[in-house]
Amino acid sequence: MAWNVFKFCSALRGLGFVMLLLVLGVVGVTYYAVVLTNYGPELVHHGGGLTDVLVALGILFLFHALLVMLLWSYFSVVFTDPGSVPPNWKPTLDEEVGEASALNPSELSRLQSDPSNQRIRVCRKCNQFKPPRSHHCSICRRCVLKMDHHCVWVVNCVGALNYKSFLLFLFYTFLETTLVTLALLPKFILFFTDRDIRINPGSLAVTVVAFVLDLAFALSILGFLIMHISLVTANTTTIEAYEKKTSQKWCYDLGRRKNFEQVFGTDKLYWFIPAYSQEDKARMPSLQGLEYPLRPDFDSNAS
């Protein structure tokens, strides 16, 4: 009898909560190293002159501003539903297939074996129709609209409704970790060059740990961020990047501008915050994939 490994995927939920605590732990260590150990005291005691005070003030301002955006984006990903298929959702009319409301999920084998019905998809596990670009998550045990992947770091799937927040989380995390790395670099160098360094051993250890952690996160997130930027410009998810044939034009590619707007919205004032304007919220059904036509060769100029 075949062993179905996917039935154990739900155990990853517990790992996700551990990862959430790990993220908060890294934030706490970094905050202690930057604010309480190094640049906070410099700002308070004025030990290095006006220039050092201004540098400390600038670093602390940028650090707190990026930290607010980072945490806002992070918890938006955690607590925002990535997009669920509405109950009893069915495909729209298709002139070749007829009225989709007359179709039954039990006819899955017939529908999927017919080449003309490629865009009519039924989830075997949920036993219901699912829109184009949606996938079933074995961890969340449901279908997710425009699913990109399940991320244990956010204890949630990344899909149509929280993909923007996820990208902003990556963006602000990269900026924050880069800032911390550059800010702590002089302290890190001082640790190896000054034998008479005057600092509490515990504080020095936290500074070194924070520098190494943030440097590692900055380098790893940079590659991840570049990958997702390329996916956004092509209107592709991580799952679709492995499924589609690279020799054919991707049918959902609307051009870089419209591909970007599908994720970030059309209002420029909302591009850098994990929220949408009222106008973009009204367009959510199309962004989720609920209004995509059944045929894959749809008009690429449609919004």
Once rounded to an integer, what is the mean pLDDT over residues 274-279?
91
Domain assignment present for residue 46? The answer is yes
For the chain, give the secondary structure using H, E and C: CCCCHHHHHHHHHHHHHHHHHHHHHHHHHHHHHHHHHHHHHHHHHCCCCHHHHHHHHHHHHHHHHHHHHHHHHHHHHHHCCCCECCCCCCCCCECCCECHHHCCHHHHHHHHHCHHHCCCEEECCCCEEECCCCEEECCCCEEECCCCEEECCCCEEECCCCHHHHHHHHHHHHHHHHHHHHHHHHHHHHHHHCCCCCCCHHHHHHHHHHHHHHHHHHHHHHHHHHHHHHHHHCCCCHHHHHHCCCCCCCCCCCCHHHHHHHHHCCCHHHCCCCCCCHHHHHCHHHHHCCCCCCCCCCCCCCC
> What's the predicted TM-score (pTM) here?
0.83
Check: CB of residue 273 under 8 Å from CB of residue 72: yes
Q: What is the pLDDT of residues 144-159, one digit of tens each?
A: 999 999 998 898 999 9
Domain assignment present for residue 12? The answer is no
Residue 179 has pLDDT above 80, yes or no: yes
The one-letter amino acid code at 29 reads V
Q: What is the pLDDT of residues 68-99, one digit of tens each?
A: 999 999 999 999 999 888 887 777 644 334 44
| Domain with 27 in it | 20-84+162-303
Q: Quick one: pLDDT band at residue 300, thresholds 50, 70, 90?
A: very low
The span from the CA of 185 to the CA of 191, in Å, is 10
Q: What is the pLDDT of residues 32-65, one digit of tens each?
A: 999 998 898 888 776 667 788 888 999 999 999 9
Per the structure, the count of domains in the chain is 1
Domain assignment present for residue 119? The answer is no
**How many Cβ atoms from other residues are within 10 Å of residue 187's Cβ?**
21
Domain assignment present for residue 72? The answer is yes
Q: Which of 103, 92, 61, 149 is nearest to 292 (CA)?
A: 92
Dmax (CA) for the chain in angstroms is 82
Once rounded to an integer, what is the mean pLDDT over residues 240-258?
76
Domain assignment present for residue 97? The answer is no
Domain assignment present for residue 240? The answer is yes
The span from the CA of 168 to the CA of 98, in Å, is 42
Domain assignment present for residue 155? The answer is no
Domain assignment present for residue 77? The answer is yes
The span from the CA of 240 to the CA of 161, in Å, is 17
Return the active site residues: 151
